Chain A
Amino acid sequence: MSLNLFSSKGCPLEQQRFTWRDMVGKPISKLDDDAFTRVRVILMNGIELDALRFQHIAARMQRELRLPLARIRRTEQHQATMINWLLGPDHSPLETTIAYEQVAIEVTAAVAQREPDPYFAQAYRFGLLEDFDHLYRYSALLDRLEGKDANNILQNYTDILPGRPTVVEHRSPEDDLREPYDRAAAPLTKLHAITITAGEFQTHDYYMNIGPLFADPVARQLYAEIASIEEQHVTQYGSMINPEEPLLEQWLLHEAAEVYNYYSCVQQETNPRIKAIWERFLDYELGHFHHVAELFKQFEKRDPAELFPTDLPEPIQFASQRDFVRQVLAQEVDLRARGTQFVDKSQESQASIDYRTHINSDGSPSETVAAGYIWTPGTELNRKVAVAV
C-alpha cells in the first residue's frame, strides 16, 4: 500500500503535544527486541536530528520563516527525544556504535538497490563498503576491549568482514564531493539523499561525542579516525542535495522525507508498542508537511504537488542485505573517488594519496585494532580457546 502525501492532512501542529513521561517511556530490550527495531530507532533519531539541524540553519537565512520554523522544531525536538530515549541503558557506547554501523550498512544497501539514478546508486554502494569496514573495526574493538561479541547486537543479520579498508578511506576534500541531483530528479532520489545524509550526520556527531568517553587510547584513536570518515561521508551525501533548490523547497522535501521514513517504519515494525509511536509520528509529520506546503504556496507561489506528482515510493526495506553487500564487496572494493567520479584505485588522485600518507604516518588505529581479527561467534577468545584445546 502506498501513501499519498496530499490525501491525509495528518495531525495539526497545535495538537502535537508531549509530557516528559510521554517522551521518556520504556526502552526497547537490547536482548529481546529484533535488531531492526533498533535500526529504525537509530535511523529515525537521525532523521529528526537532521530536521532540527536544517531548520536551525534555515532560520538564519529567512526572517519570515523563523516563527513557523521554531514551532515545528519544538515538536521535532520532542519526537527525537522520545525516539532516542528508546535505546536501553544497558547498551555500552560501543555496543550502540555497532548498532549505528548496522543502520549505515543495511539502510544504505537497501537505498542503493532502489535508487533510480545509477550515479547516486554508485555513490551509495561506495559509502556502503566503507561503513561495512567500520563495523569490522569496531567489532574487533568491542571484542578486544570489552570482551563482547558484536553479533549480540547484529543478531546475525549483518556480516562482520573487512570492506574497503578504513586506512585507505581518507581522501582529500575535493574527492569527497559529488554532483548534486537535478532539480527535476525523481522524488525518491531526493528522499534518499536526505535520509542517508541525516543518518551519516548523526553517526558523525555520535562518534564525536562519545569518542572522548573512552579511557583506552586505541578506542580514542579509532573513534577519531572513523569520525573523520563520517565527516567525509556527510560531505559526500550532503553534496548530492541540489544547492539551487529554494530554502522552502528543501524544507518541504525534508518534511516529505520524514513522512516517508515513518511510513517505512510503520509498515515493517514488529514491536506493537514501537509501531504505535511510528504511527503517531507519521501523523505528526503529515501535519508538518501540510503546514510547510501552505508556506510553500505563500512564499514560493508554486503548487507543492509539482514536487510530488505521484504517491510516495515503496517503503525503505528494513531487512538483511547480506547477498547484495557481498556482491558489491566482491566487485567494487577497489574503487576510489576522484573528484566527483568513481575510479579504479590505480587512478586515484595524488592529492588523496598525499593526504592519506600524512594522516596515517604515525600509525593507523583501524589497522592496529583489527590486526589478525577474524570474527568468531562468542568472540575470538572462543576460537583461541578451541584451538588451544
Chain B
Amino acid sequence: MKEQTPMGMNRTGMQMSPLDANAMQAAPASMTPATPGDDSALAQMRGSYISESDPIGSVPLPGTVKGAMTTGVALLTGDQPQLLLDKLGERLAFERTGTRLYDALITKFETMQDTSTSMTLADLRKIRQDEARHFAIVAEAIQSLGGDPTSQTPCADLVGVESMGLMQVVTDPRTTVAQSLHAILVAEMTDNVGWELLIALAEDQNQSALITDFSVALDEERMHLQQVQSWFQEATLGESISNGAMVDDIADANPSQLH
C-alpha cells in the first residue's frame, strides 16, 4: 500500500528495452504488412451493426399507464413520459453506485490515514449520506409517478456500464487516495450535469412537485464537486510538488535487466 506513486522500473515503454526495441522495429520489409485499406473497414462493420441493432431495452410501464395504480399518483404528461422515468432511473442507479464508491473511498482513507488533503472522515461520511439520501429522493419521485424504483431502466443500465471503471479504480487496494479521488471526480462531474438535466426535464414535464427536492440535491452535489476537486488538487499537487518524486522501493520489484 502506497500513499504516493513511486518512480521505478516501469517496463512498458520502448526505452526500458533498447536492444529489443530496436529489433522490434527492424523487421524485414518482406514481413511488414501490405494489407490494403485502413481503419474505415472497421467503421463500416460497426455501421452495419448500428443500423440493424435493437435497443438496449425498454423503460418499464408505470402503474398509471397500466391502470394498476390510479390514486395518489401524479399523471405523467408530455410527449415522452418514458424519458423522465428513464432519467430518474439513471439518477437512482448513479446515486446508489455513488454511495458504494464513497464506502470504498472511506475504507481507503481510513486505512491509509492519508493527510495529503484537508479531507476528513466526517466530510466523506457526510457526502456518503447525501448520496444515499439522493437515492431515496429519486426512489420516492419514481414512486410518485407510479414507476417502479426497483426496476433497471436503460439509462440506469448504461451508467452502470460507465461506472465499472470508476469502481475498479477506487476498490483496487493498490491505488492511492489521489488516484481514487480522480475517479470520484469523474463521478461527481457527471452527477452534477445529471441533476441539472433532471430538473430541466421535470420542469418540461410539469412535475413541479419534484423540483424542490431535486434542487436541494443539485446544490449538495455542486458542493461535493467543489470539495472533491479541491481535495484532488491538494492530493495530486501535494504529491508531486511538496514531496518530490520517490524512487520505487517495492519489496518484490525485480532488478531491471536491459534487453
Binding site for B on A (CB under 8 A): 29-35, 37, 88-90, 136, 144, 151-153, 155-157, 159-162, 215-218, 221, 270-274, 320, 322, 326, 329-330, 363, 365, 367-374, 377
User: Does B254 sit within 8 A of A, measured CB to CB?
Assistant: yes
Output the residue of A32, A136, A217, A365 with the most chain B CB within 10 A: A32
11 contacts between A and B (CB under 8 A): A88-B174, A90-B172, A152-B12, A155-B17, A156-B24, A161-B31, A363-B45, A372-B33, A372-B35, A372-B39, A377-B14
B14/A156 in contact, CB under 8 A: yes
Q: A371 to B31, Cβ gap below 8 A?
A: no
Q: How far is the CA of A224 from the CA of B259 in the complex (A)?
A: 35
User: Given A157-B259, A161-B27 in contact, is the A32-B33 Cβ separation under 8 Å?
Assistant: no
Tell whether A320 pairs with B172 under 8 Å between CB atoms, given A216-B46, A330-B31, A372-B35: no
| Least distance between A96 CB and chain B CB atoms (Å) | 14
Bitwise interface map of B from 14 to 46 toward A, beta carbon under 8 Å scored 1, else 0:
101100110111011011110111111110111
Residue-wise, chain B 220-259 has the 8 Å CB interface mask toward A (1 for contact) of 0000000000000000000000000000101111110101
Known A89-B168, A371-B41; contact A32-B25, beta-carbon cutoff 8 A: no
* Cβ–Cβ contact B168 & A371, under 8 A: no
Q: Does A371 lie within 8 Å of B39, measured CB to CB?
A: yes
For the complex, give the distance between the alpha carbons of A13 and B14 in Å. Answer: 45
- Chain A residues, Cβ within 8 Å of B161: 215
Q: List 14 other contacts, CB 8 Å, given A159-B24, A221-B45.
A: A31-B12, A32-B248, A152-B12, A153-B12, A157-B20, A160-B24, A161-B27, A217-B45, A271-B252, A368-B44, A372-B33, A372-B38, A372-B39, A373-B35
Given A89-B168, A368-B45, are A271 and B16 neighbors across the interface (CB < 8 Å)? Answer: no
Q: By the criterion CB–CB under 8 Å, are A326 and B49 in contact?
A: no
In the complex, what residue of chain B is closest to A36 when comparing beta carbons? Answer: B259
Among residues of A, the one whose C-beta sits closest to the C-beta of B30 is: A330
Interface size class, chain B: 35 or more
Q: Which of B3-11, B79-87, B108-116 contacts A (4 or more CB under 8 A)?
A: B3-11
Asked whether, in the complex, the Cβ of B46 is within 8 Å of the Cβ of A32, the reply is no
Alpha-carbon gap, A88 to B27, bound state (A): 31
Interchain CB contact under 8 A, A370 and B254: no
Interfacial chain B residues near A90, Cβ < 8 Å: 168, 172
A365 to B48, CA, bound (A): 13
Which residues on the A side are within 8 Å of B172 (C-beta)?
Answer: 89-90
List chain B residues, Cβ under 8 A from A153: 12
Contacting residues, chain B, for A374 (C-beta < 8 A)? 32-33
CA distance A67 to B203 in the complex (A): 69
Residues of chain B lying within 8 A (CB to CB) of residue A221: 45
Taking a contact as CB atoms under 8 Å apart, the answer to whether B252 and A377 are in contact is no
Question: What are the nearest 7 A-B pairs in CB distance?
Answer: A371-B37, A156-B20, A217-B49, A273-B252, A152-B12, A371-B41, A372-B38
- Cα A271 to Cα B251 with chains together (Å): 10
Complex Cα distance, B37 from A367, in Å, reads 10
Which residues of A are found within 8 Å of B21, using beta-carbon distances? 156, 377
In the complex, what distance in Å separates the CA atom of A162 from the CA atom of B174?
Answer: 37
Complex alpha-carbon distance, A161 and B23, angstroms: 13
Q: Which residues of B contact A89 (CB under 8 A)?
A: 168, 172
Measured between beta carbons, the chain A residues less than 8 angstroms from B30 are: 330
Closest A residue by C-beta to B37 = A371
* CA A39 to CA B21, docked complex, whole Å: 19
Question: Which residues B88-142 have CB closer than 8 A to chain A?
Answer: none
Smallest CB gap from A333: residue in B: B31
Of the residues B11, B39, B254, contact of A272 by C-beta under 8 Å: B254
- Report how far A159 CA is from B27 CA in the complex, Å: 8
Roughly how many angstroms separate A136 CA and B168 CA in the complex, as a whole number?
A: 28
Q: How far is the CA of A272 from the CA of B172 in the complex (A)?
A: 23
Q: A34 touching B11 by the CB < 8 A rule?
A: yes
Q: Are A370 and B35 in contact (CB under 8 A)?
A: yes
Q: A161-B33, A330-B30, A374-B32 are known contacts. Are A369 and B14 too (CB-CB below 8 A)?
A: no
Output the nearest chain A residue to B254 by Cβ-Cβ distance.
Answer: A270
Minimum CB–CB distance from B257 to chain A (whole Å) comes to 8
B39, closest chain A residue (CB): A144
Residues of A contacting B259 with CB < 8 Å? Answer: 156-157, 320
Which residues of chain A are near B23, meaning CB under 8 Å? 156, 322
* Contact call A155/B12, Cβ cutoff below 8 A: yes
B42 contact set on A, CB distance < 8 A:
144, 218, 368-369, 371
Enumerate chain A residues within 8 angstroms of B36, measured Cβ to Cβ.
Answer: 371-372
Cα–Cα, bound, A160→B250 (Å): 31
Q: How far, in Å, is B135 (CB) from chain A's closest CB? A: 26
Q: Inside 8 A of A330's CB, which chain B residues have their CB? A: 28, 30-31
Nearest opposing residue in chain A for B16, CB measure:
A155
Report the minimal beta-carbon distance from A330 to chain B, rounded to whole angstroms: 7
User: Which of B10, B33, B44, B253 is A373 in contact with, Cβ under 8 Å?
Assistant: B33
Q: What's the minimum C-beta distance from A169 to chain B, rounded to whole angstroms? A: 15
